[in-house]
Amino acid sequence: MNETNYSELLNNLLPAFGETLEMCGIALLLAVVLGTPLGVLSYITSKHSICQNRVVNLIVGFFINVIMSTPFVILLVLLLPFTRFVVGTSIGPEAASVPLGIVAIAFYARLVEGNLHAIDKGVIEASLAMGATWFRIVTNVLLPGAFSGMIRGLTVLAVTLVGYSAMAGIVGGGGVGDLAIRFGYYRYQTDIMIITVLLLIILVQIIQTIGEKASRKVQK
Amino acid sequence: MIKFDNVSVSFTNKKGQIVDAVKNVSFNVNDGEILGIVGTSGAGKSTLLRTVNQLQLPTGGHTIVDGKDIGSLSGKSLAKFRHSIGMIFQQFNLVSTKTVAQNVAFAMEIAGHSKEEIKRRVPELLSLVGLSDRADVYPSTLSGGQKQRVAIARAVANNPKILLCDEATSALDPETTNDVLQLLEVINIKFGITIVLITHEFDVVKKICHRVAVMNKGELVEIGDVSDVFTKPQHEFTKTLLSHTFDLDLPGRLTEDKSKPLVKIIYNGEKAENAIVSNVVKLYDVDVNILHGKIEYINDKPFGILIVQLIGKQDDIYNSLDYLSNNTYRTEVINERD
Ligand SMILES: Nc1ncnc2c1ncn2[C@@H]1O[C@H](COP(=O)(O)OP(=O)(O)OP(=O)(O)O)[C@@H](O)[C@H]1O
Ligand SMILES: [Mg+2]
């Protein structure tokens, strides 16, 4: 077993931690900005909903399903040309954010949609009876009603992304997961592997705790 | 005000079968009246009511409001029309993420009222329904009756001409039901809002409705003034429905004893106030044994049933029965000898 050089580890660990946060942060942002409207679109175009549209619903559903059912490692590789096109390179945390972001968008869209389906249909009907437009129902009834569930979903997503980001490390994405694999797995430095894994566990715990607190706070 | 013109609604259910929820229903709802719609579960009451604001499109016929065929409305004109129709529901359907005041304001925002107008009117509405002190709480902290009051404030916020109530009191206890009904009556009288009210309780009809429509299996079987329908039900189904309200159950040993006639006397209108029973005792040599009875007042007119046993000589009993038949709405012997 190799001697562990702790100052080398620290020098690697801090940037790696930053990279993980960057990758997951970008992906989360994409999920909120694009996944939320996609989830709403999927819900309102579904059968008997406020903007029923079979064609749009099928297209959105197909997009989400394809991404969700493709193993992430394969998606990483398949998306390489697209990633290169968007960020100019296929290596580094920015590049890893692209496939991570796309998975996050699809994943979050489904979570949002699920939370919307749980909203009382009666309230939607009452809004329709008052003459509300679909847009007003989305902004005044659906999104506020699903808000606490959406925050909980965001927590689940963040935790999942931390795990996925380790896989992105395999194709040169960097991050804590990448560090764990490079030092711990390839160089047999078990203690480093344990430290990095502990770090990931702590990160996940922090996310979970913040997420649960926030979700409870907004519950009416 | 509302004219149902041969309205039919059919659905295709999950098994692919066609369900005729409403079949060729035609009747009018008059301006300013409170009309009750009664019928058993699945009779099509909700479906019919929902054609008034196009939550449901008729698959046949037309629902016409103020001369406008509702089925022809869409987009902006439909939204605008819906502002003039309030609706309340059994489950209240308040927006749980909005406070009481915000729920009422929501209806006005939808109708495009200005912020100042909303700010001025919401407290007025909350005071109308007696909830001024709960303006800033969320619905989850309210009782059922309070929730329905908020829903009523919301429903009348845009000065509608019509208020639709789908089982609005069915989730409430009797006392709260009375409060809510009183509030509806106030709204009807004060603002002249026409109210169409679905219920499965005849008690509700009796308390506030002017007219009542009876539905059975998608069809309209009877419509008329509440007192007429109660006292002179024309249709078998109405009679069955009513008999539940006026269920006077006697112990079996009384109906089985055929030696003394059991007489059911039905009072209707002013005759209930005459001293008919005591007259019988004075005029003929019979004893009257009162076994059961109930008098209701429908729109201030008495309506009631009395079950008595006549004891005496055969002749006297015949004469008494004659007298009763001539002086009451209806008299029948319910333990006829076979
Ligand atoms: N969207 C729908 N799809 C299929 N069938 C429906 C639909 N809505 C109502 N029905 C059917 O139409 C019939 C009438 O329903 P409706 O809700 O109008 O009855 P109701 O008189 O209001 O009954 P309740 O007192 O139980 O509310 C029922 O058989 C019901 O199953
Ligand atoms: Mg119903």
Residues A65-75 have pLDDT tens digits of 999 999 988 99
B28 plus B171 within the same structural domain: yes
SS3 B283: helix
Ligand 1 pocket mutation, candidates B46, B52, B164, criterion most atoms within 8 A of CB: B46
Which of B243, B274, B303 terminates a domain? The answer is: B243
Question: Chain A contact for B83, CB < 8 A?
Answer: yes
Average pLDDT over residues B201-219: 92
Question: Chain B contact for A125, CB < 8 A?
Answer: yes
Question: Chain B contact for A115, CB < 8 A?
Answer: no
> pLDDT, tens digit, for every residue of A114-168?
999 999 999 999 999 999 999 999 999 999 999 999 999 999 999 999 888 888 7
Residues B31/B44, Cβ–Cβ less than 8 Å: no
Nearest CA owner, ligand 1 atom 25? B41
* Residues in CB range of A219: below 8 A, 6 or more apart: A148
Pairwise CA distance, residues B68 & B72, whole Å: 8
B279 plus B222 within the same structural domain: no
B145 plus B217 within the same structural domain: yes
Q: Which ligand is located closest to the Cα atom of residue B55?
A: 1
Number of domains in chain B: 2
B175 plus B278 within the same structural domain: no
Which residues sit with their C-beta closer than 6 Å to ligand 1?
Answer: B 11, 13, 19, 21, 39, 41-47, 200
Of the residues A52, A121, A130, the best mutation for testing chain B's interface (the one with the most B CB atoms within 10 Å of its CB) is A130
Which of B243, B271, B303 terminates a domain? The answer is: B243
pLDDT of residue A89: 86
Query: Which ipTM score applies to this complex?
Result: 0.86
pLDDT of residue A166: 81
Q: Report residues of chain A scoring pLDDT below 70.
A: 1-5, 220
Question: Which residue from A minimizes the CA distance to B49?
Answer: A129
List the single residue in B80, B91, B154 with the smallest CB-CB distance to A122: B91
Pairwise CA distance, residues B169 & B165, whole Å: 9
B52 plus B117 within the same structural domain: yes
B154 plus B51 within the same structural domain: yes
Give the distance from residue B295's alpha carbon to the nearest chain A alpha carbon, in angstroms.
39
pLDDT of residue B337: 64
List the single residue in B55, B80, B91 with the smallest CB-CB distance to A129: B55
Hey, which residues does B286 pair with through a beta bridge? B312
Range of the structural domain that residue B100 is part of:
2-243
Higher pLDDT, B284 or B155: B155
Pairwise CA distance, residues B338 & B247, whole Å: 24
* Chain-chain contact of A126 with B89 (C-beta, under 8 angstroms): yes
Question: Which residue from A minimizes the CA distance to B106?
Answer: A140
Looking at the domain assignment, is residue B338 inside a domain? no
B230 plus B310 within the same structural domain: no
CA-B218 nearest atom, ligand 1: 14
B227 plus B290 within the same structural domain: no
Question: Chain B contact for A190, CB < 8 A?
Answer: no
Which domains occur in chain A, in start order?
Answer: 6-218 (1.10.3720.10)
pLDDT of residue B247: 63
Torsion angle of C-alpha atoms B123, B125, B129, B131, degrees rounded to 10: -20
Which of B243, B265, B282 terminates a domain? The answer is: B243
Looking at the domain assignment, is residue B158 inside a domain? yes
pTM, two decimal places: 0.85
> pLDDT, tens digit, for every residue of B105-128?
999 999 999 999 999 999 999 999
* Chain-chain contact of B107 with A130 (C-beta, under 8 angstroms): yes
B185 plus B291 within the same structural domain: no
Cα–ligand 2 centroid distance for A31 (angstroms): 41
Looking at the domain assignment, is residue B98 inside a domain? yes
Average pLDDT over residues B52-72: 94
CATH classification of the domain holding B232? 3.40.50.300
Average pLDDT over residues B287-291: 86
A202-216, B262-276, B287-301, range with the lowest pLDDT? B262-276
